[in-house]
Amino acid sequence: MFGMYYLFVDDFFAVLVIESIHVCINRWDTAGQERFQSLGVVFYRGADCCVLVYNVNVQKSFDNLNNWCEEFLKQASPANPGKFLFILLGNKVDIDGGNSRVVSEKKAKDWSSSRSDIPYFETSAKEDQNVDVAFQCVAKTSHVNDQLQDIDFNPIPDEVPIEQRGGGSCAC
């Protein structure tokens, strides 16, 4: 008997209430698998935020953050890549009471600071530690950014001058 293996991306949908506004979060979780990088355009286009998650107990997952960040920006093609919202989660802080940790909180915070002070949270998905707080930050920041994008910076003037041509009654 042969086992069946499937490629999949975990999809999660939630609605959070931020300042009495319902904010929808649709999370695509690739579990850090490089084989999903080629599907990026499909998943990333139109995103308001990218949550980068690494395992605090595995140096390589932290080392790959720059690659994932650059790949996301390349494939998502946001209007303003320098101001695009990223959030960093250091996950699995619950493992072995923290004794097997290889990426320090300071190192992660330094990386976040070097990336325009992106928000950083230490989490345990298994223990549900700080996960809600992190996604509240995603929702709130995305909502604020959405409001800023909706501002009309070129308002229509109250009066539009019309040039008169010829002597007829028509202004055209």
Q: What is the DSSP letter of 124?
A: B
**Percent of the chain predicted with pLDDT > 70:** 58
Phi and psi dihedrals of 31, rounded to 5? 55, 30
pLDDT tens profile 26-35:
555 555 555 5
Domains of the chain, start order: 43-146 (3.40.50.300)
* More confident: 2 or 80: 80
How many whole angstroms separate alpha carbon 69 and alpha carbon 10?
19
Contact 12, 27 (CB under 8 A): yes
HSE at residue 41, side-chain half, CA atoms within 13 A, is 1
pLDDT tens profile 106-154:
999 999 999 989 999 999 988 989 988 888 887 777 655 554 444 444 5
User: What's the confidence (pLDDT) of residue 140?
Assistant: 78
Average pLDDT score over residue span 42-69:
89
Torsion (CA) 63, 66, 68, 72 in degrees, nearest 10: 170
Q: Which two tokens stand for residue 134?
A: 């992190």
* pTM: predicted TM-score of the whole model, two decimal places: 0.68
| Residue 6 clears pLDDT 60, i.e. is over it | no
Average pLDDT score over residue span 42-50:
78
Q: Which two tokens stand for residue 69?
A: 């960040």
